[in-house]
Structure 1
Amino acid sequence: MRLLLTSAGVTNPSIHGALVDLLGKPVADSNALCVPTALYGNPMSGPASAWRFVTGQTPLPMCGLGWKSLGVLELTALPSIGEQRWIPWVRETDVILVAGGDAAYLCHWMRQSGLADLLPSLRDTVWVGLSAGSMVLAPRIGATFVEWQSAPDDHTLGVVDFSIFPHLGLEPDNTMADAESWAAEIAGPAYAIDDQTAITVTDGTVEVISEGRWRHFPA
């Protein structure tokens, strides 16, 4: 997959340009599926949050970017309808837009649904993550970000080899000092990124795209 891992969506021209580069064509010519699942694992979110994400009625730009088509892929529904139905939907889309919320909850349903197992075969698909939608691809998210009470630990999918601390600079819990404490706990390569920053991963090459503030924490 080609990855665009954001803190708050496509928030500036640099991130938008990176998205178009990954797609290889304009947003208006691209078909998208959006995944709101992580929102249900966050105690601060609810049905209205999912509706706002899906309809693009949110200040975090993802679904309202002007896609050629937009569908909803709700992971909790997939085990009940069978892979023969939903796998073609995923294979035929250009981009998967993944909402924020609780990364541990999202990780659970990516595994339960079978989407996690499908990811390695989606070589031409672009994954655009927002906050938890980005963090879920890391090896760990850190105990600070686990809010779903049924999570066994803070380990996630490990699609990339680094972890992500999103919303850097958002008071009171996302200061640089908080990021430093989190990185010490992670004890592996990590990035702290603000809402004007994203990370692209293409064929193993990692690049930071930023009009804001970020920091790399080596292992």
Structure 2
Amino acid sequence: MKLLLTSAGISNMSIQNALVELLGKPVAEANALFIPTAIYAIPNGGDIVRRVICGSLGDPFCQLGWKSLGLLELTALPSIKKELWVDMLREIDALLVGGGDCQYLTYWMQQSGLADLLPSLLQKMVYVGLSAGSMIMTCFGTTYGNHILPADSDKSLSFVDFAIHPHLDHEWFPNNSLDNIEKLVASIPVPSYAIDDQTAIKVTDVAVEVISEGHWKLFTPRDYGRPLKNI
């Protein structure tokens, strides 16, 4: 398994170097697919998708200089013959999963069948998450509630046994202060990483590593008198 779980994309050279290490080749020699699905469940989502793809919003992600870049919309997959998109996934080096609504993204990961395929796909390709795209691979996700999914729908896929809280102290997200996150993680029974937009978590089969040119903090259940789960 090779995951690069970012807060805001490939925002600095340390994160980019970690991506290249996971790919085993330069970005310019790697093929990628971008999943925008989670973005549609936030206000003005359609325009945000356009801006992320064009590189006019946020840090480099789609416009990082990939050899090729395709688009994979999860909501379309249930109506398409499976072999068409599965074969495409098996030929890429990186799966770029955009931010937005965790619950909406998790639902369509499951409904499309991609969630079931990820364990085998991740033996070869690198999963690169951005915000909600990162959070759904952990055991903690959130929702904006701009959808009509059942309230008890999963908010994450729990590929790793920790939580990520992105956009630490970001001016666009006033609730993401360190004090507020500390109050939140007190109720979460697994380790929690609060990370700013200059930070990412690199996960392989053998290690979890923080890649940062910014600020981050790890909270453990032990901080609140609970036993620490193995990760």
TM-score by length of 1: 0.94
Q: 1:50-89, aligned counterparts within 5 Å?
A: 50-89=49-88
1:57/1:64 contact within 8 Å kept = no
Describe the shift of the 1:153–1:186 C-alpha distance in structure 2 as closer, same or farther (beyond 3 A).
farther
Correspondence 1:178-189 to 2 at 5 A: 178-189=180-191
For the pair shown, the structure with the greater C-alpha radius of gyration is: 2
CA distance in 1 between partners of 2:179 and 2:188 (Å): 14
1:100 matched to 2:99: yes
- Separation in structure 2 between the aligned mates of residue 63 and residue 155 of structure 1, nearest angstrom: 24
Q: Report the more deviating stretch, 27-36 or 59-68.
A: 59-68
Question: In the comparison of the two structures, how many residue pairs are matched?
Answer: 215
What are the Cα deviations for residues 164-213 of structure 1, in whole angstroms up to 9, with x where unaligned? 10000114211001110121122221100000000000114100000000
Which residue matches 2:14?
Answer: 14
CA distance in 1, matches of 2:129, 2:164: 11
Q: 1:51 to 1:160 in 2, by over 3 A?
A: same
The one-letter code matched in structure 2 to 1:186 is I
Please tell me the residue identity of whatever aligns with 1:178.
N
Show structure 1 runs of 4+ deviating over 3 A.
Answer: none
Match in the other structure for 2:135: 135
* Cα-to-partner distance string for 1:21-70 (whole Å, 9 max, x where unaligned): 0000000000000000000112x332111111222222221000000000
How much is the aligned-residue C-alpha RMSD, in angstroms? 1.3
Q: Does the Cα contact within 8 Å between 1:140 and 1:154 map onto a contact in 2?
A: no
1:144-183 matches, within 5 Å, as: 145-148=142-145, 149=147, 150=149, 151-152=151-152, 155-171=155-171, 172-183=174-185
In the other structure, the counterpart of 1:30 is 30
Specify every segment of 5 or more residues in structure 2 that has no aligned partner in the other structure, as ranges: 222-231
Question: Is the Cα contact below 8 Å between 2:8 and 2:197 reproduced in 1?
Answer: yes
Aligned to 2:59, the other structure's residue is in SS state: coil
2:71 counterpart letter in structure 1: V
8 Å CA contact retained: 1:166, 1:193: yes
Partners of 2:44 and 2:114 in 1: how far apart? 23
